[in-house]
Structure 1
Amino acid sequence: MRQFSLQNEIALITGGGTGIGLGIAQSLIQAGARVVLSSR
């Protein structure tokens, strides 16, 4: 069950290569957001 929708939203995630940042990025993608990741 989708709890919220982020259609047409853009999220910038720093530290998105692993751990919490990656988990948040995956959740945002599932909610419909476009995600830009930045990592080392």
Structure 2
Amino acid sequence: MRLAGRRIIITGAASGIGKATAIIFRREGAAVALLDNQEALL
């Protein structure tokens, strides 16, 4: 998956599927914005 140049917003990014997705998308080159109501865990 090539995501270079893409911008992605992930909600629920502090844990679970959201966190795993953020890690993978970032590893693939996307610019990632993270949102969660548990801000300290981001």
Query: What TM-score results when the alignment is normalised by the length of structure 2?
Result: 0.84
Query: What TM-score results when the alignment is normalised by the length of structure 1?
Result: 0.87
Q: Unpaired runs of 5+ in structure 2?
A: 38-42
Deviation for aligned residue 1:22 = 0.2
Paired residues, number? 37
Matched-pair identity in % = 32
Work out which of the residue numbers 17, 23, 27 in structure 1 matches 2:24.
27
- Asked if residue 36 in structure 1 is aligned to residue 29 in structure 2, the reply is no
Q: Flag the structure with higher helix content.
A: 2
Q: Unpaired runs of 5+ in structure 1?
A: none
Alpha-carbon separation, structure 1, partners of 2:17 and 2:28: 17
Q: Which amino acid aligns with 2:9?
A: L
Deviation for aligned residue 1:33 = 0.2
Query: Over aligned residues, Cα RMSD in angstroms?
Result: 0.5
